[in-house]
Amino acid sequence: MKNNADFHLVIMAGGVGSRFWPMSRPENPKQFIDVLGVGRSLLQLTVDRFGSAFTPEHTWVVTSEKYADKVKEQLPDLPESNILLEPCMRNTTPCIAYVAWKIFQRYPNATMVVSPADHFVADVDKFRKSIAKGLEFVAGQPRVLTLGMTPTRPDTGYGYIQAVASADADVLHVSAFREKPTLDVAKGYLEQGGFYWNAGIFLWDVRTAMAAIRHFEPEIASVMDKIKPSLYTPEEQQTVSTLFPECKNISIDYAVMERLAGHNEKVDGRITSVFVLPASFGWSDLGTWGSLYAQLDKDLAGNAVVGDAEVSLVESWDCMVRTSGNVRFVIQGLQGFIVAEDNGTVLICKRDDEQRIKQFSATLKE
């Protein structure tokens, strides 16, 4: 994919990754960690996979105020003005609104792709081809596009996108967004066909993004309008810190995508629709230890180990082991367990119980 002066990459990097405790903690969440043991953090891998199509000047990271130094350290080529700092968590709609208003100020004809900072992609070449096609589809058009991952199993950990045919054979109309289903419902989705995992990657022209947010969430747009005069000035951060907390806490899925699904909406005088581009490039949201386990190489006993420590697994099968530091491990007699160590804190729990990790972590005083 060639660089285009009007293409902008927006990376959302403000989450805390609490399901990856104890490796991921509020002071150092998973997007800034070398989760895969490859020498690059998830944030750095996200920038890497988009390649040279987006220059540092056209790459934007939205994160928490407390992570500013981490972003600067990990992405030293990124202009400081392109690191947008939220004073508090308000979900993805205010996040996207802030960066859209800022991009528009200097690049009114921009087309942007919005991506989480902490996902995994196995086939980068296929990923880039999907992004290139998506940008071409939305550039200068009143269209919203999301990437839909072709499901490989009836997964209950992802939201789903239901789609129907459109005039473009490769791009489908979205008829509905579905919440994370039960296993039986997920099986039904795969049997019926036309359902895709929601990867949370969105592509749209910046004017369309702003107009859609103004149309569906006028109060958030009003806050951004108040922030607008301070953008690119020394007063920007103080203004954002003061006004941003007034924004509603709402995801872009609820605020815009679900409201557009299944019909055309007249937004800012233009008919706007939401589409999905089906894709298959080995995607995972890396939301849990189990999803990380699925991406790692295993030994003959099904054990996956990542980290610097020496680990000996004896009579153990199907375990996920993640270590840090110089601690040495001998693990005997475990089957289907997570063993995770970080700075002296050790988690040992059944892989089947990983959804309870927040509960387990609450039993310790940090």
Indicate if 275 and 312 belong to the same structural domain: no
The pLDDT assigned to 256 comes to 94
Question: Is 292 a member of any domain?
Answer: no
Indicate if 108 and 134 belong to the same structural domain: yes
Confidence of residue 364 (pLDDT cuts 50, 70, 90): confident
Q: How far is CA 214 from the centre of its chain?
A: 23
Confidence of residue 154 (pLDDT cuts 50, 70, 90): very high
Mean pLDDT score of the chain: 93
Given a cut of 70, is residue 220 above it in pLDDT?
yes
**CB count in 10 Å sphere of residue 22:** 20
Given a cut of 70, is residue 366 above it in pLDDT?
no
Express each pLDDT in 96-131 by its tens digit.
Answer: 999 999 999 999 999 999 999 999 999 999 999 999
The total number of structural domains that make up the chain: 2
Rounded to two decimals, the pTM is 0.93
Indicate if 183 and 249 belong to the same structural domain: yes
| CA separation for the pair 340, 329 (Å, rounded) | 11
Q: What mean pLDDT comes out for the span 27-41?
A: 93
Indicate the Cα dihedral angle 306, 307, 312, 316, nearest 10°: -30
| CA separation for the pair 60, 57 (Å, rounded) | 8
- Which domain-ending residue is among 284, 310, 325? 284
Higher pLDDT, 264 or 40: 40
CATH number at residue 262: 3.90.550.10
The pLDDT assigned to 263 comes to 76
Question: Is 24 a member of any domain?
Answer: yes
Indicate if 179 and 36 belong to the same structural domain: yes
Question: Is 291 a member of any domain?
Answer: no
To 5 degrees, how large is the angle CA 199–CA 39–CA 302? 70
- For residue 57, which of 72, 75, 79, 85 has the smallest C-alpha distance? 79
* Residues forming a β-bridge with 177: 161
Indicate if 342 and 271 belong to the same structural domain: no
Contact between residue 148 and residue 177 where contact means Cβ atoms under 8 Å apart: no
Question: Is 366 a member of any domain?
Answer: no
Quickly tell me which residue has 């233009």 as its tokens: 270
**CB count in 10 Å sphere of residue 333:** 10
The pLDDT assigned to 301 comes to 97
- Structural domain for 131, as ranges: 7-284
| CA separation for the pair 133, 201 (Å, rounded) | 14
| CA separation for the pair 237, 217 (Å, rounded) | 23
Express each pLDDT in 49-82 by its tens digit.
Answer: 999 889 999 999 999 999 999 999 999 999 999 9
Given a cut of 80, is residue 5 above it in pLDDT?
no
Question: Is 158 a member of any domain?
Answer: yes
The pLDDT assigned to 210 comes to 96
Indicate if 112 and 27 belong to the same structural domain: yes
Q: Are β-strands 143-149 and 270-279 bridged in parallel, bridged antiparallel, or unpaired?
A: parallel
Indicate if 200 and 346 belong to the same structural domain: no
- Which domain-ending residue is among 249, 284, 319? 284
The pLDDT assigned to 362 comes to 86
Confidence of residue 1 (pLDDT cuts 50, 70, 90): low
Indicate if 301 and 279 belong to the same structural domain: no
Question: Is 46 a member of any domain?
Answer: yes
Indicate if 164 and 262 belong to the same structural domain: yes
Counting residues of the chain whose pLDDT is more than 70, the rounded percentage is 97
Confidence of residue 363 (pLDDT cuts 50, 70, 90): confident
Question: Is 321 a member of any domain?
Answer: yes
- Which domain-ending residue is among 255, 284, 313? 284
The pLDDT assigned to 3 comes to 53
